[in-house]
């Protein structure tokens, strides 16, 4: 069966109701077999909804494919317009990717190193929260979180307090230039999905070229401020990269890596935080329970993972990812290296295989009763133990309940991103009581979850915010 996309297109945003599409596709085609043929392309593409997808990781070999390899527009832009044709390892497969990933791991995946950026992240958060009420009560929480995510990652990656949330003119211009360039990358990849030659058919390429140029110049400006002019803390991810003599990274390559890391980290962090806060605002009892746990562990102080245990809030995060995931599908693996048999069907080498958790997340036989209800107790120790040895156990697998992917090509900035969203959410929930203002928000039946890359509710609700 072939899907019909148009009913899921969201005209106001230009996005897609990906979650609705995946749910419908599961219940119409994938529930019985756990797999379904997909795509407008002639190339074989399959969506897998269950644990059989793990075969892809077991058999993909030394050089796994990653979702960023679909960002062909960046490589095409660099080839045509950037002197020296800098190559970003995150956009490639093979040895180019492996060497790049091994080089950045000490600065991004090492727990101690990642946590060394937390003071700068907390500083950003403590500055930004003063403006939270202004944004949230005017229907602009999504904008607040977008800018805050950018500022947090800039603090970690460059050691600079950008202060776009506060409306600093220079900081805001830089943030909007870079965020705008990254959003056009998503658009051109979506509208020209299968071949760079599609760019001849779409205006998206021209828009991307213009916006990407602006974003690259803004990122160069930030890099110069941090690395040449001595602004900021002098301690950051990019300071580590460029100070490592063995890596031999040029300034252009460093700029490319900063842009792609921002693309991978900021949008996911913003959307995840948005979904968590929205769920808590709609469920006051759950919010109160999470707040009590945070206050007991943190005592009103900034988030610090050392010695901090927040088991109930971890359940909130998993339930958020189940019911309102950051992405309606994850772990897109293109050009698989060998034939695979999944759920009794042969997937030929060269095919693209996509995993979506939207099937198990909304199937009451797997997710439990009332799967449309936000219930963090679904991930209590007792419920997890009860699922052991059953098909429903896959609900607890990291592939199904983690927001940053799984396997060797999972988000390279996931450790930093977790520090960011934990810092921000713990600060906000400890300091504010948050409720949806239904009188000022669009009616519930007019609010939909839309994906442009990641997924949030549109239009953004208006919130009632009370300082505690």
- Known binding-site residues equal 411
What whole-number distance in Å separates Cα of residue 345 and Cα of residue 331? 19
- Known binding-site residues for heme equal 411
What whole-number distance in Å separates Cα of residue 39 and Cα of residue 27? 17
Partners of residue 35 on adjacent β-strands:
48
């Amino acid at each position: 069966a072939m899907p019909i996309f148009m009913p899921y297109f969201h005209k106001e945003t230009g996005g897609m109701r990906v979650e609705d599409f995946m749910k419908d596709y599961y219940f119409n085609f994938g529930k019985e077999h756990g797999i379904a043929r997909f795509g407008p392309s002639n190339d074989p593409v399959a969506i897998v909804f269950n644990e059989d997808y793990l075969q892809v990781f077991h058999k993909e070999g030394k050089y796994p494919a990653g979702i960023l390899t679909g960002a062909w527009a960046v490589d095409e832009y660099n080839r045509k317009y950037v002197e020296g044709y800098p190559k970003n390892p995150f956009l490639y497969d093979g040895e180019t990717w492996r060497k790049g990933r091994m080089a950045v791991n000490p600065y991004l995946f090492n727990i101690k190193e990642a946590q060394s950026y937390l003071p700068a992240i907390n500083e950003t958060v403590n500055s930004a929260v003063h403006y939270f009420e202004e944004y949230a009560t005017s229907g602009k929480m999504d904008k607040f979180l977008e800018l805050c995510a950018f500022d947090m990652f800039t603090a970690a990656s460059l050691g600079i307090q950008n202060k776009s949330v506060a409306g600093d003119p220079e900081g805001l211009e830089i943030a909007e230039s870079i965020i705008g360039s990254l959003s056009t990358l998503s658009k051109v990849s979506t509208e020209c999905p299968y071949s760079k030659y599609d760019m001849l058919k779409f205006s998206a390429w021209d828009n991307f070229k213009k916006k990407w140029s602006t974003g690259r110049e803004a990122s160069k400006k930030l890099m110069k401020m941090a690395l040449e002019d001595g602004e900021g803390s002098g301690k950051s991810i990019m300071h580590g990269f460029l100070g490592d003599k063995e890596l031999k990274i040029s300034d252009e390559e460093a700029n490319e890596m900063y842009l792609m890391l921002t693309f991978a980290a900021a949008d996911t962090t913003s959307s995840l935080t948005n979904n968590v806060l929205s769920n808590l605002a709609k469920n006051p009892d759950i919010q109160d329970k999470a707040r009590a746990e945070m206050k007991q562990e943190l005592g009103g102080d900034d988030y610090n993972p050392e010695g901090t245990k927040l088991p109930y809030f971890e359940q909130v995060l998993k339930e958020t990812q189940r019911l309102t995931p950051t992405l309606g599908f994850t772990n897109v693996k293109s050009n698989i290296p060998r034939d695979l048999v999944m759920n009794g069907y042969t997937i030929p080498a060269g095919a693209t295989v996509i995993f979506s958790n939207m099937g198990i997340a909304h199937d009451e036989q797997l997710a439990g009763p009332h799967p449309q209800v936000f219930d963090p107790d679904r991930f209590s120790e007792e419920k997890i133990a009860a699922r052991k040895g059953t098909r429903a156990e896959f609900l607890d697998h990291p592939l199904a309940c983690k927001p940053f992917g799984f396997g060797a090509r999972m988000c390279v900035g996931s450790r930093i991103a977790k520090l960011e969203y934990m810092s921000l959410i713990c600060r906000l929930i400890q300091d504010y009581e948050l409720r949806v203002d239904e009188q000022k928000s669009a009616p519930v039946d007019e609010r939909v979850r839309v994906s442009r890359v990641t997924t949030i509710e549109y239009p953004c609700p208006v919130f009632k915010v009370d300082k505690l």
